[in-house]
Amino acid sequence: MDRHGFQRRARSGARLSRPDRVQLRPGPVPERRHRAHARRQRRLVTQHDRAEGPDDPRILPDQPEPLNGAARMSTWLFTYGSSTDPDHFAEDFGKPEAFAAASVADYRLAFVNYRESFGGGTSAIVPAPGAEAIGVAYRITPEQHAKLAQADPDYALQPIRARIGGETVEAEVLLPRTIHGFASPTDAYMARIRYGLTGFYPVALVDAVIRAALDRRWLFDGLPAQWAADARPRMEYGTLFRRLLPWKGGVRTPWGGAVATIAPGTASELFPHDEEELAFVLSGSGSLRLNAHERAIGQGDLIYFEPECEHVVTNDQPEEPLVVLFLWWGGADGVAWAGRKI
């Protein structure tokens, strides 16, 4: 575990740029995406076997049945997250019988439930009167349905009414069993959702949907907060250390932060590190050793520490605690948020 409070994990592959800076700018869909979209739409046209005449109800390979038909016992599955990319869905659950753009009235996309394995929040659709959640519907087999039902114990298939091809049909959707709260998703996860949806919808519409999902104000009352009564500081670096930032599942920042309480007659551990750091004395007084130099410090003092310097804060008072706010940034690993660089 590093000084940011996260397990260090190997990173591989190119890192996507931040979507709020680059990925969410409206722009044209590349021509190859238009061609792929056109091929998808052609496959979605219900056709009859012309050799048998126009009244034959059979469907050509890769074509959906009539929307409310039940001859093959397949069902429609509405998806809204990374599974909106048909190739991604096929990798996880096999090739669907058919797929089409779809929507669900009175719902909208949300990012919720921080998950360590994801490194951030996951997608869901939540009730929102007057809104409309966009996504992709897949015609799935009973075998795919069974696989989906067992894919994740934290998710469950639920019935829903979806609009597909101008018709409202009975479908199912995979949703979290419990929604705990807003959680900011990783850049790569948002990019996968954006890639899937832009195969079926205009880029500007998809970007607007994602921006709305990132706005936590519509989903939960009040401010995102770490209430003092709920704080759980622990002993780190010889101090009672309350980590503030990075904030798992909450606020993105390019720096880390913590409040350290140094008990009377004790000192912080000597811990050189490659980040730059600021120390601001919130209350109390004591002394600071910086490399070979030492001086008294007190409330309101602000000190800058260069990377790899030796620094120890000592509370030499008999009764009053010394409380210091530390902020750090940079270093070889950058500031970790949800186990990754920002």
Which CATH number belongs to the domain containing residue 127 in this structure? 3.10.490.10
φ and ψ at 153, to 5 degrees?
A: -65, -20
Cα separations in angstroms, 261 against 127, 291, 322: 43, 22, 6
pLDDT band (50, 70, 90) for residue 326 = very high
The rounded distance, in Å, linking the Cα atoms of 296 and 285 is 8
Please name which of 161, 36, 64, 159 lies closest in space to residue 104, comparing C-alpha atoms. Answer: 161
CB atoms within 10 A of CB 266: 16
292 and 203, same structural domain?
no
Last-in-domain residue among 195, 218, 241: 218
User: What is the pLDDT, as a whole number, of residue 43?
Assistant: 46
33 and 88, same structural domain?
yes
The rounded distance, in Å, linking the Cα atoms of 167 and 136 is 14
Domain assignment of residue 334, given as a range = 228-341
Tokens of 332: 């070889």
User: What is the pLDDT, as a whole number, of residue 283?
Assistant: 96
Q: Mean pLDDT across the stretch 244-261? A: 80
The rounded distance, in Å, linking the Cα atoms of 313 and 296 is 10
pLDDT band (50, 70, 90) for residue 257 = very high
Q: pTM (2 decimals)? A: 0.50
* Tally of structural domains, the chain: 2
pLDDT band (50, 70, 90) for residue 168 = very high
Angle between helix 86-93 and 187-197 (nearest 10): 110
The rounded distance, in Å, linking the Cα atoms of 184 and 133 is 19
Q: Is the pLDDT of residue 220 over 80?
A: no
Task: Please write the tens of the pLDDT for every residue from 30-64.
Answer: 444 544 554 454 444 333 333 333 333 323 334 44
330 and 262, same structural domain?
yes
The rounded distance, in Å, linking the Cα atoms of 27 and 20 is 14
Highest mean pLDDT among 46-55, 209-218, 249-258: 209-218
Dihedral sign, Cα of residue 163, residue 165, residue 169, residue 171: negative
242 and 212, same structural domain?
no
The rounded distance, in Å, linking the Cα atoms of 270 and 306 is 14
Which residues are CB-neighbours of 19 under 8 A, at least 6 positions away? 187, 190, 191, 194, 210
Task: Please write the tens of the pLDDT for every residue from 105-133.
Answer: 999 999 988 888 888 889 999 988 899 99
Q: Taking every pair of C-alpha atoms in the chain, what is the biggest distance, in angstroms?
A: 97
pLDDT band (50, 70, 90) for residue 247 = confident
In the chain, the amino acid numbered 65 is: E
Asked, for residue 207, whether it belongs to a domain, the answer is yes
Q: Is the pLDDT of residue 88 over 80?
A: yes
Check which CATH number belongs to the domain holding 283 and give it: 2.60.120.10
Asked, for residue 10, whether it belongs to a domain, the answer is no
